[in-house]
Amino acid sequence: MPRILPEIVPDSRRRARYRRASLITVVLINLGIAVHIEFFGWVKPDGMSYVADGFIFAINVGVVHYGWRAHDGFLVRPARPVRLVRPLRFLRRGGGGAAHGRGPAARVTSGPVIAGRWPALRPVSRLMPGPMGRRWLAEAQSLLAEADAGQRRAAARSYLRSAPRLILIMWLAELSRRARRHLR
Amino acid sequence: MAPRLTVQVLLVLQALLREPGRELYGLELTEETGLLPGTAYPILLRLENQGWVTSRWEDVDPRVEKRPARRYYRLTASGALQASAALAGARRPRSTALRGLAGEGGMA
C-alpha cells in the first residue's frame, strides 16, 4: 500500500536562498567572535559592546528559530519528507523540483521534489552522468516513498550497494556515446 | 545485441511478459520478481538501452497525489517477441537436462 506523504512544506527558491545566506552569516559572525576571543580575549564590556552582543544574540535567535521552523535539512536532517533545498549552488546540476531527472519539459510544469530520509542517495547520484544520475535519484526516491517501512531500508541499501557498478556502467556508456558523437 | 540472460534478467522479463501491454513501476516490479530495486534498476536500464523495454514518467502532480511520480516500464513489441524467445530458450535446456537425468536413472 502506498505510503501517504505529509503535505510538502511550501517555500520559494528565493526564501531558501535568503535562509542559506542568513545561516552562513550567523556561522561567520560566530566564527569571528570565537577567533576574536581566542586571540584577543574577552572584550571589556561597555555600552557599545552590549549593543553589539544584543544584535548578535538577536540574529542568532532569529536565524535558529527561522531555520528550525523551515526545517529544510540544511543543518538538521529532516525527520519527515520536505521540499528539497540544495545547500550549495555550485553543487546544482540542471533543474530541480519534481522534474528532477525528467527532462526540461517536465521542469517547467512540475512541483517540488519530495525528499525522503535518504540523504546518501543525492551525493551518489551526482557521481553519475547528469541526466542518468537525476533519473536514478528520482526513481529511487519515488520507489522508497511508496515502499513499506519494512522494505524501505533494504531497498535504500540495495540502491547504494549497486551504485558503484552502476556509476561505472553509466560512465562507460556516456563516454562511448560521446566518442561516437565525436567521431561522426 | 541481446542482453546477458541471467536469472534476474529472466525474472524481470517474465514479470513484464505476464501482461505484455501492462506497464509496471519499480515497486510493482520488485514485488513481482522478488528482486531488490538495486538489482532490478540496472537490468531495466540495460533492457531499455537495447530497445526491449520502454519507460515513461507518470504524469501526475506529486502535491495532489501526495507521492512522487512513478516511472512505468513496459516491453516494446520487438522486446516482447525477443523476451518470449529468450524465456523459452532458457526453459528448454533445463527440461532437456532433467530428461537426460531421468534417462540415466532409468538405465541404471
Whole-number Å distance between alpha carbons of A134 and A52:
46
DSSP class of B72: E
Coil, strand, or helix at residue B30?
helix
The more confident residue out of A84 and A42 is: A42
Express each pLDDT in B3-49 by its tens digit: 778 899 999 999 999 887 889 999 999 999 999 999 999 999 999 98
Rounded distance between C-alpha atoms, residue B80 and residue B86, angstroms: 10
**Contact B50/B1 with Cβ under 8 angstroms?**
yes
Per-residue pLDDT band at A26 (split at 50, 70, 90)? confident
Q: Which of B42, B55, B9 is CA-nearest to residue A136?
A: B42
Residue A166: its chain B contacts at CB < 8 A? 41-42, 45
Q: What is the pTM of this model?
A: 0.56
Helix (H) or strand (E) holding B53: strand B53-57
Q: Provide Rg for chain B, Cα atoms.
A: 17
**ipTM of the assembly?**
0.79
Whether pLDDT at A89 is above 60: no
Q: Which residues pair with B74 in a beta bridge?
A: B54
C-alpha cell at position A160:
547504494
Q: Give the Cα separation of B42 and B3 in Å (integer).
A: 12
| Chain A residues near any Cβ of chain B (below 8 Å) | 2-5, 7-8, 98, 102, 106, 110-114, 135-136, 138-143, 145-147, 154-155, 157-163, 165-166, 169, 173
**pLDDT tens digit sequence for B72-108:** 999 999 999 999 998 888 776 555 655 655 565 444 3
